[in-house]
Amino acid sequence: MNESLINPFTLSHPTAVQTSLFAGALFAKFDPTGRFIASGRLNGSAEIWDLETRAPIRWLDGHVKAITSIDWSRNSRYLLTSSKDWNVIIWDLSSTYDPPQRQKSLRFDVPVVSASFHPKNSQIVLVLLATGEAYVCDSRKQHRTRTELLEPLPDEVEEDEENAGHGTQRAGMTVARFDPSGKNIFVGTDNGYLLVFNTRTKIMIGRHKISGAGIMKGFDFTRSGRRLVTNSSDRTLRQFILPTYPSLPVDADLHNPPSFLDVELEPTHRFNDPINRTAWHAMCYSPDGDWLAGGAADPAGHKIYIWDISNDGAFASALDGGREPLTYLHWHPSRSSFASTTNQGSILIWHCPNPERWGAFAGGFEEVDENVEYEEREDEFDIEDEAVQFERKMKAEEEEVDIDTVVTGTQAAVVSKGTHSGNMGGAATPIGTGNGHTMDLDKLGSGMDEIIDIETSWAEEEPDLDIPGGWKMKVIMESSEDY
């Protein structure tokens, strides 16, 4: 509602740097509400910046070595940091103490490459270790487990894999991510395979060869979970439309797994830098899935390439962010904005600059693009009876006005579902949480989410305390020395 006042013409991708935060960061990620940005530092501390005041508000000190990844829970209450010091720490940001309290620590015996929350329950965490192993750690009382995700090797039962005679080695896992629904875990390996595991049972349900890829380096999903873009060591970004995986029966067992989908996946589009063949540090879809931004690993400058997916993947523009090379890129969850991190630690926030409308300073002034020929109405200069005018005014004022109901996040998404064609990532910003389903090229994904199935109900058993609107970031006033 406020967006229509602010953005009369919505350009769908950012074009200029709005502000620069000197954060000393290795990388920075927005939270799901879009109000904060979390950054990880080389010395092991994490910082949370408030975008409204553009100042840091929380400092999370718990690690002793560099932070390797950060993840926010779905309503931004919990923050997860993983580090080279073998630990994953989960922080509760609703705590009123400063420094914030740790909710939990997960300890491993090798450096942790990445970690992320399950999209529906922050008590389920996916962890990828430097040895190429991936674990799903579930800390709910009924399901307390730490399970390794293992690719089943041919002609073998699980227990025999230790046998020295077999030469088949499992490929090391290099990327691991939940898909947006949380039902599946996608893992990339160092030999160019994409493995898909079912989260609930940890059974592998798909294995896809991606020819020419080399080592898989990164994934990003569209919000509906139907499309995936991969970054790999051959310096090419590939977009895939994911196949539908058969749903597993309730009693599917890890030791007697049903067969998995073993097909090679063909990308719909390949994105690369044809001139310089630069590699990519990070890539990100826009919230509506219509744009793809790729942060180039260009050592001489800060370059972000944007492709228009809705226009068949055509190259849209290359943004220049100055002389400090880029290290990371993250798109804002609801606005047309992204945050790119430079190797000097600065976080650049990009936006679509809105030129100031000077007509707004005059009441009743409407700016138009072209001259409008004014046509007088028939009754333009009729002299109306005062009483009739007054009566009409009183009649109009009888209409009921609702000053109370607030259109919240999910309701706003329902509103936006109806206006499919016009929704380009700027309109219908939900008030509060950014949990609305946004549009995608095919609507199958969002339709499937409505069905409560075994996978979702398994994930939502023993829900965590991350309720939308159920917590507040306390404003911690800096202590003043003068009084």
Partner 1 sequence: MDPLAGMDDSSTDDDTSSQTTEDDPQVPENQVSQPPIPVVPPPVAVPAPGPTQREKPHYALRHTLRGHTMSISAVKFSPDGKLLASCGAEKMVKIWSPETGEFLRNLNGHTQGLSDISWSSDSVYLASASDDTTIRIWDVETGLTHKVLKGHTKWVFCLNYNQASNLLVSGGCDGDVRIWNTAKGKCIRTLHAHMDYVTAVHFNRDASLIVSCALDGLIRIWNTSNGQCLKTIAEGHDAICQHVQFSPNSKYILSTAHDSTIRLWDYQTTRCLKIYKGHVNTKYCISACFSVTGGKWIVAGSEDHKTYIWDLQTREIVQILEGHTDIVVAVATHPQQNMIATGSIDSDLAIRIWVDPIPRT
Q: Residues in the site for partner 1, rule: CB under 8 A?
A: 1-2, 4-6, 18, 35, 50, 52-55, 57, 354, 356-357, 360-366, 377-384, 387, 389-407, 431-432, 472-478, 480, 482-483
| Cα distances (Å, whole numbers) of residue 465 to 58, 87, 409 | 20, 23, 18
148, 133 Cβ separation under 8 angstroms = yes
Rounded least distance, CB 431 to partner 1, Å: 5
Angle at 89 between CA 112 and CA 297, to 5 degrees: 45
Can you tell me the distance from the alpha carbon of 149 to that of 249, in angstroms, rounded to the nearest whole number? 19
Q: Write down the least CB distance from residue 423 to partner 1, Å.
A: 19
Q: Smaller CB distance to partner 1: residue 312 or 356?
A: 356
CA distance 471 to 94: 6
CB 186 → partner 1: shortest distance, Å?
34
Residue 416, token pair as written in the block? 């936006």
Token pair belonging to 194: 């994409």
Q: Cα–Cα distance between 128 and 114 in angstroms, integer?
A: 5
Q: How far is the CB of 327 from partner 1 (least distance, A)?
A: 26
- Nearest residue (CB) to partner 1, 39 versus 189: 39
- State which residue, 274 or 364, has the beta carbon closest to partner 1: 364
Min. distance of Cβ 365 from partner 1 in angstroms? 8
Give me the least distance between CB of 399 and partner 1, in Å please: 7
Would you say 219 and 175 are in contact if contact means Cβ atoms under 8 Å apart?
A: yes
Provide, rounded to whole angstroms, the least separation between the CB of residue 40 and partner 1. 22
- In whole angstroms, the minimum distance from the beta carbon of 318 to partner 1 comes to 25
Instruction: Kindly state the smallest distance separating residue 404's Cβ from partner 1, in Å.
Output: 6
Nearer CB in complex with partner 1: 51/150: 51
Rounded-to-10 torsion of CA 195, 199, 202, 205: -40
User: What is the residue whose two structure tokens read 């409008």?
Assistant: 372
Q: Enumerate the β-bridge partners of residue 340.
A: 329, 348
> Measured at the alpha carbon of residue 106, what is the angle toward residues 104 and 112, in degrees to the nearest 5?
135
Cβ of residue 28: shortest distance to partner 1, in angstroms? Answer: 18
Closer Cβ to partner 1, 5 or 451, answer by number:
5
In whole angstroms, what is the distance from residue 121 CA to residue 19 CA?
33
Comparing CB distances to partner 1, the nearer of 7 and 147 is 7
Question: How would you label 333-360 residue by residue, b for 16+ Cβ within 10 Å and e otherwise?
Answer: bbbbbbbbbbeebbbbbbbbeeeeeeee
Rounded-to-integer distance, Cα 349 and Cα 287, Å: 16
Q: Which is nearer to partner 1, 373 or 478 (CB)?
A: 478
196: β partners: 186, 206
Q: With respect to partner 1, which residue has the nearer C-beta, 95 or 268? A: 95
- Residue 75 or 87: the one with the smaller Cβ distance to partner 1 is 75
Which residue bears the tokens 């954060």?
Answer: 23
Identify how many contiguous H helices and E strands the chain contains and give both numbers: 5, 29
Least distance (Å) between residue 374 CB and partner 1: 12
Q: Which of 71, 107, 67 is nearest to 83 (CA)?
A: 67
- Residue among 22 and 315 whose Cβ is closer to partner 1: 22
Nearer to partner 1, 315 or 365 (CB): 365
CA atoms within 13 A on the CB side of 438: 24
CB 191 within 8 A of CB 132: no
Show the CA angle centred on residue 105, arms to residues 99 and 111, nearest 5°: 110
- CA-to-CA distance for 17 and 203, rounded, in angstroms? 44
